[in-house]
Amino acid sequence: MNKINHTLKKVLCRIARRIYVLRKSPLKKWGTLLFKSKRQILLEAIILRYDNSGKFQEETDFLKEQNKLIIFPYKNIKQLNHIESGYDTVKNLPYVIHKKRRLYFKNSWTQEKAAKEYKNYIENEQILGGNYIEKAPHQYQSESFHVKSSDILLDVGCAEALFALDVIDKVRKVILFESDHVWFEPLKATFEKEMKEGKVVLIEKNAGRKNTPNSVTIASVLQNEEYNSLFIKMDIEGAEPEVVQSCESWMKTNKDIRFACCTYHKKNHAEILKSLFEKHHYRIEFSDGYMLFLFDKHIRYPYFRKGIIRASKKL
């Protein structure tokens, strides 16, 4: 029954969006609108909703100019000059060079695919900053909010771990959380030296609310660690509020703790995470700009979402 209700909601949402666009359009456009794709209808719905409304005007103007949906609705300012990439025939993995280090990717990817994805992380997602687009909704650090030399970095949902590699020489230790086995070999290849030294630890499980065969709590991972400061970067496909809730028993401690969590996977996660952090008197800031998370099949009004919440313990 729940599955039927969920499907019905999806259908009704699509119908409502199409009716909204039709209702706001002149009769002569109805014929073409009825046969437009879901993305085309969504684009028109967003433009009709916000055009000249005073809300998300910069983003809406950009979408109108491009005449297509774009996850990061801002102009590109610059591009990478050169991407050095290769294929390691011993490890059977493609890689790119980042800060004179090899960053390895899935063995199912070609060298060209690895370079393309790396370019996207740097230029479009701009997770490391660098002013590649006008605003950076997916940027984890800022001038006032960043990793420190005393930190243990927890990269929760690390995938290829570009962020961790970028700051590996700035932090005391790195703990990687990744449950998708396709990333295990690339991660071990990228951090081979640091894993032997004990500076990098790979947890091959999800971060979760309980310790199970497939998940582990952050509290249990930290119980044998000595630390005064933590930087916790979290990108876990919409499970961020659940995992932050699991941290509530220790995040009140009088230590320097900073969270950088994705808020774009679900439409209300920015508000939920803000409330969770404010409950424990954390300072809050959001990354600049907004995202259109088009991978959410149920995306609906207000469409634009904040990308990253940065929360730091008030000491």
Q: Taking all residues of the chain, what is their mean pLDDT, rounded to a whole number?
A: 90
pLDDT digits (tens, 9 = 90+) for 130-160: 999 999 999 999 999 999 999 999 999 999 9
Express each pLDDT in 34-60 by its tens digit.
445 788 889 988 999 998 888 999 999
Say what percent of the chain tops pLDDT 90.
Answer: 80
* Three-class SS of 242-281: HHHHHCCCCCCCCCEEEEEEECCCCCCHHHHHHHHHHHCC
Cα(29)–Cα(110) distance, integer angstroms? 44
Compute the distance between CA of residue 220 and CA of residue 240 in angstroms, rounded to an integer.
17
Among the listed ranges 17-26, 96-105, 128-137, 279-288, which one has the minimum average pLDDT value?
17-26
Neighbour tally for 131: CB within 10 Å = 11
pLDDT at 34: 47
Q: Transcribe 114-127 into DSSP letters.
A: HHHHHHIIIIIS-T
Amino acid at 140: Y
Does 302 sit behind a cis peptide bond, omega within 30 degrees of 0 on the bond before it?
yes
What domains, with CATH codes, occur in the chain?
2-66 (no CATH), 136-313 (3.40.50.150)
